[in-house]
Amino acid sequence: MSTPMCRVIRSGDPYQGQQGFTYLAGLTGATAGSRGICMTMVVLPAGARAKTHYHRAIETAVYVVEGEAGMHWGERLEHYVTARAGEYVYIPPDMPHLVVNPSAADCRAIVAHSSASDQDGIVMRPDLDLIHG
């Protein structure tokens, strides 16, 4: 077994997540050898809308760096929150959510998951996509 090391990870190439947004590769199991955490950057263009999903048994934390993001959440997406630059959002495991950028400006946010990859455990919920369509 290899010895754990401290590392500096540079932002990597953009990639498309299952949720429909573009992420910049960051700190993951693949880049840092982490086992229980990952952090990536997401850019939400003005008016952007994700696909409804949840993360099976995985917590999510978001820090909005600039702009604002909205999120419908709940079993039928019955709740809504808005987070602006300098604010954090917590999403518990197994919570359906739909992320949107309702503003006319881009939003940049750091997204962390309690998993080594931000694409682990994603369960798509297309049955909820039209609720706030």
> Residues 109-130: pLDDT tens digits?
999 999 999 999 999 999 999 8
Q: Report residue 80 CA to chain centroid gap.
A: 16
Measured between alpha carbons, how far is 24 from 127 in angstroms, rounded to an integer? 28
Residue 87 phi, psi (nearest 5): -110, 155
Residue 127 phi, psi (nearest 5): -65, -20
State pTM to two decimals. 0.93
Of 56 and 132, the one with more pLDDT:
56
Of 5 and 67, the one with more pLDDT:
67
Inter-residue contact 96 to 77 (CB < 8 Å): yes
Predicted confidence (pLDDT) per residue in 44-58, tens digit: 999 999 999 999 999
CATH fold of 20-128? Jelly Rolls (2.60.120)
Using the CB atoms, write b or e for 67-104: b if 16+ within 10 Å.
bbbbbbbeeebeeeeebeeeeebebeeebbbbbbbebe
